[in-house]
Structure 1
């Protein structure tokens, strides 16, 4: 049997009496034309290792396997084990199934080397997983991820736009991000209340160091925590006007107007000030 001989996803779901669970943020993408398009956006093929989170019934998994890639699928919902194991019986050792919570799994250990991440992420864990991949110790080769359209727009937003905020700064400081395609709500079963979009992220070679990333998270949390206030007010807990000036920024500017480079300078200035105040070793 080949991948093309497998029953349609709707038939497989019906045969097992499976429905999406709202608690898991599940919305199934069953159109193989769409999942194949996502696989093309991901630019994966034979010899590549792909980590997929939340495969559900396996629509995107099928498309990824069709490229010749090896897929490590992490699924929390045990109801989908029979469907994914049936897919594995055809794909052989090119599909590894991990029944676990992706927020707790060590992806680096699973991949055993460089790997891409391609996922139609469950809505309720999408952003935490993205931050984990972008700021954690393991860096994927690329990330091709589907989010709610609003979240996708926040990831790729530019300074001065209403969508620009902390998520955009962290994502763009660590990766090159672009909106690759939009997917209407009607494409899903059941359809969510909002449209979705696929974001393609390629980690930067000059990715900030762990200390700099930690500082960036501090200054963005403060700056966007009160986004309508000027930097001298929103950054007051971290140094306020003096910190902004040390980064070469106008203290009267608002966070939403500061580009990624400006926030990295704020992170550097905060780190430098913290180091000056740190007691000398005895």
Structure 2
């Protein structure tokens, strides 16, 4: 019995045991009791997580994969969550406990998984995952880079991001058309912003929607005062600003509105 990869779910099953073991070793397993694997498929990564010093849960939307896991990993049966991670809330399973996230993520929802993690960051001190390589690189990109953007700034505002290693298409069934990249996110000790969070998200997203323009032009829709726009920071393009500079910019916009 095996599970057929479903294109509409973006499934590419990892078949390389060494890579699976290496991904499992990416997490530190310190400071939390639970691990949540997203999209375990046939459990190639799961078997290595079960050996770690933490209780493994998996969340899987594919009913065929759930049946496979129950048949081949009976010890896991009570820890299988048959839900869509993007709609799921952790309190029903973990209450207020901390847990890490790990997985070989479907490319088509990988960015949404990151944004959901940011929403749940109070519960998630660590996150390790496999993405399309260019997405993993974008999340970890630094200011000044052409690929530094919304995902980079919003993720790095709350987590330290580290690109770990590259994975070739040949280790998947079916093989994707591009390389994959594994990254590790480690939550910052101070993961609450010192500015209005909703405004911060809006400023970052609005700025990068017209990334080639200066902030003076890209943030026009925020109706900023001429006095504020005279600040030299508005002569820069969004890719030039660090996370902290975006936080300071948001604070300045908050003050401008009062």
What is the TM-score of this pair, normalised by structure 2?
Answer: 0.91
Work out whether 1:180 is the aligned partner of 2:164: yes
User: What 5-or-longer segments of structure 1 have no aligned partner?
Assistant: 1-11, 277-282
The Cα RMSD (Å) is 2.2
Q: How far apart in 2 are the matches of 1:148 and 1:24? A: 15
Distance 1:45 1:269, change over 3 A: closer
SS at match of 2:111: helix
Report the Cα distance in structure 2 between the residues aligned to 1:239 and 1:262, rounded to whole angstroms.
Answer: 20
Matched, 1:84 2:64: no
Task: Check if 1:98 corresponds to 2:89.
Answer: no
- Taking the aligned partners of 2:124 and 2:229, their CA distance within structure 1 comes to 33
- Once residues 75 and 44 of structure 1 are traced to their aligned partners in structure 2, the CA distance between those partners, rounded to angstroms, is 22
Counting only pairs closer than 5 Å after superposition, residues 133-212 of structure 1 correspond to structure 2 as 133-136=117-120, 138-209=122-193, 212=196
CA distance in 2 between counterparts of 1:187 and 1:221 reads 35
| Aligned-residue offset at 1:211 | 6.3
211 and 133 in structure 1: CA distance in 2 versus 1, 3 angstrom threshold: farther
CA deviation after TM superposition for structure 1 residue 243, in Å = 4.2
Q: Deviations over 1:55-77 (max 9, x none)?
A: 11111111101224311111001
Deviations 1:84-116 (A, max 9, x none): 112431x357x6001111111102432231111
Helix, strand or coil at the partner of 2:26: helix
Structure 2 equivalent of residue 236 of structure 1: 220
2:195 touches 2:247 (CA, 8 Å); kept in 1? no
1:31 paired residue number: 16
- State the aligned residue count: 256
| Alignment of structure 1 residues 110-149 onto 2, 5 Å | 110-112=93-95, 113-136=97-120, 138-149=122-133
**For the pair shown, which has the larger CA radius of gyration, 1 or 2?**
1
Q: Tell me the CA shift for residue 46 of structure 1.
A: 11
Residues 131 and 196 of structure 1: CA distance in aligned 2, closer, same or farther (over 3 Å):
same
1:208 Cα deviation after fit: 2.7
How far residue 185 of structure 1 moved from its aligned partner, in angstroms, is: 1.2
Q: Which of 66-75 and 27-36 deviates more?
A: 66-75
SS at match of 2:234: coil
TM-aligned CA deviation for residue 137 of structure 1: 6.2
Q: 39-48 or 57-66: which moved more?
A: 39-48
TM-score (norm 1): 0.84
Contact 1:47–1:68, Cα closer than 8 Å, also in 2: no
Per the TM alignment, residue 121 of structure 1 is displaced from its structure 2 partner at its CA by 1.1
